[in-house]
Amino acid sequence: MDKIRMTTPLVEMDGDEMTRILWQMIKDELLLPFVDLKTEYYDLGLKKRDETDDQITVDAAEVTKKYGVAVKCATITPNAARVKEYGLKEMWKSPNGTIRAILDGTVFRAPIIVKGIEPYVKTWKKPITLARHAYGDVYKASEMQIPGAGKVELVYTAENGEQSFVTVHEFQGPGVVQGMHNLDSSIESFAKSCFQYALDTKQDLWFATKDTISKKYDHHFKDIFQEIYDAQYKAAFEAAGLTYFYTLIDDAVARVIKSEGGFIWACKNYDGDVMSDLVATAFGSLAMMTSVLVSPQGYYEYEAAHGTVQRHYYRHLEGKETSTNPIATIFAWSGALRKRGELDDLPELVRFADVLEQASLTTIESGKMTKDLALITELPDVTVLNSADFIREIRAEIEKSL
Ligand code: NAP
Ligand code: MG
């Protein structure tokens, strides 16, 4: 069989621990036998990040701007324990944070739906894609404890020295206060990424804030979304038969629960933090969540939503068998290959992405799955496989289809 051709390389970002092991298995068993795989390889494993003073992460993000499509393995975000474990020079920043800042992107997370793993919400038939704004608000707030009676004000000093004031509160006793901010440029990029991704995936876009209470702050988000929609995306949405829909966050929550799914839900930073975990859990499993970073310029970086599965890795190092679920990482590859195929006009590559995904789902639906899914499936006659055997079953399905 001739291997499926690629013309432009994918930016390949390798990672850490159990997902690094899965990464290699997926390439060896599911990609290299079928695709003439072209990648530009960046090792974002923690050791390499430390050796290069994290320059490798910056380089990987920069080259994504050149090629447009990247696929990333989960990586360790160092904490004090990791600094010790790996003897790091520094507590390097989160690679995802660095990449997101360089690409100015928004993260879209969507569940992979498969028969036998049923969402907790009975009406959900299609995935709900959650878009989280990843800058500012409470995540970059300044806070103060107020020891006793006194006045708290917000003061804005313009560059020319002119000042304006607003009273936050006249305290009669102790309390707390918080100052948050956001930037038009960041909100605009968020809005553009959302509109772009909605068109790309042919899904409606919902956006919700609390603008009835937050009449300036949240209202500003609502206005920016509406202005960008009207000026740049309305015509394309109408032509594609798609809707942009704004509502209050509490109304959105109620509608989401009663919906069938099949849309993108854009959330402010805090709402997105909370709601993405809620949606992921309600769909069944973190191991079945994909994630794609989309920049307003249309650069894409695909990955799994879960981490490096450290606990399984330590078992693996002890020589014990692990049943880690590779599905979200496989779908990161299929997402990236499909996008590459679309951009380069390679229908065979697009078809391979479909075959790879379908083979993965068929394997699960036939009752062969990893342990995490076996614990929650409603299918009878389940066979629990280790990661390597599960991947080999998927390969057999691909071979049947091609
Ligand atoms: P994790 O890797 O998401 O795993 C947490 C737990 O969820 C696992 O112990 C496992 O539960 C279950 N799980 C997650 N993915 C699974 C899979 N594919 N198959 C089966 N079970 C799965 O989070 P963590 O272990 O707390 O974090 C490990 C490292 O990942 C951290 O250093 C963190 O910085 C990093 N991280 C990276 C990313 C990223 O690169 N995008 C995201 C999050 C975290 P059981 O142990 O009960 O089986
Ligand atoms: Mg969270």
Query: Residues enclosing ligand 1, CB less than 6 A?
Result: 74-77, 96, 286-287, 303, 306-311, 324-325, 372
Ligand 2 center to residue 260 CA distance, Å?
24
In the numeric block, which tokens belong to residue 134? 């990843």
Q: How confident is the model at residue 277 (pLDDT cuts 50, 70, 90)?
A: confident
Ligand 1 center to residue 22 CA distance, Å?
13
**Ligand 1 atom nearest 324 alpha carbon:** 19
Q: State the Cα–Cα distance between residues 376 and 206, nearest whole angstrom.
A: 30
Check whether 1 has a pLDDT greater than 80.
Answer: no
Q: What is the enclosing helix (H) or strand (E) of 242?
A: none
Q: State the Cα–Cα distance between residues 29 and 231, nearest whole angstrom.
A: 47
pLDDT digits (tens, 9 = 90+) for 310-331: 999 999 999 999 999 999 999 9
**Residue ID of nearest Cα to ligand 1 atom 37:** 307
Ligand 2 center to residue 289 CA distance, Å?
14
pLDDT digits (tens, 9 = 90+) for 13-25: 999 999 999 999 9
Q: State the Cα–Cα distance between residues 288 and 116, nearest whole angstrom.
A: 13
With the C-alpha atoms ordered 114, 119, 123, 129, is the resulting torsion angle positive or negative? negative
Ligand 2 center to residue 70 CA distance, Å?
24
Ligand 2 center to residue 278 CA distance, Å?
9
Helix (H, G, I), strand (E, B) or coil at 164: strand
Check whether 70 has a pLDDT greater than 80.
Answer: yes
pLDDT digits (tens, 9 = 90+) for 158-216: 999 999 999 999 999 999 999 999 999 999 999 999 999 999 999 999 999 999 999 99
Q: Which of 309, 325, 330, 373 to mutate to test the pocket of ligand 1 (most atoms within 8 A of CB)?
A: 309
Q: State the Cα–Cα distance between residues 207 and 345, nearest whole angstrom.
A: 32
Ligand 2 center to residue 274 CA distance, Å?
6
**Ligand 1 atom nearest 371 alpha carbon:** 20
8 A C-beta contact, residue 339 and residue 300: yes
Q: What is the enclosing helix (H) or strand (E) of 161?
A: none
- What does the DSSP 8-state code read for residue 35? B
pLDDT digits (tens, 9 = 90+) for 221-276: 999 999 999 999 999 999 999 999 999 999 999 999 999 999 999 999 999 988 98
In the numeric block, which tokens belong to residue 33? 């036998």
Q: Which residues of 264-273 are buried (b: 16+ CB within 10 A; e: fewer)?
A: bbbbbbebbb
- What's residue 135's pLDDT? 85
Q: Which of 306, 315, 369 to mutate to test the pocket of ligand 1 (most atoms within 8 A of CB)?
A: 306
Tokens 């920016």 sit at which residue? 224
Region class of 381: left (phi > 0), else alpha (psi between -120 and 50), else beta = left
Nearest to 95 by CA among 50, 135, 132, 136: 50
Q: State the Cα–Cα distance between residues 288 and 284, nearest whole angstrom.
A: 8
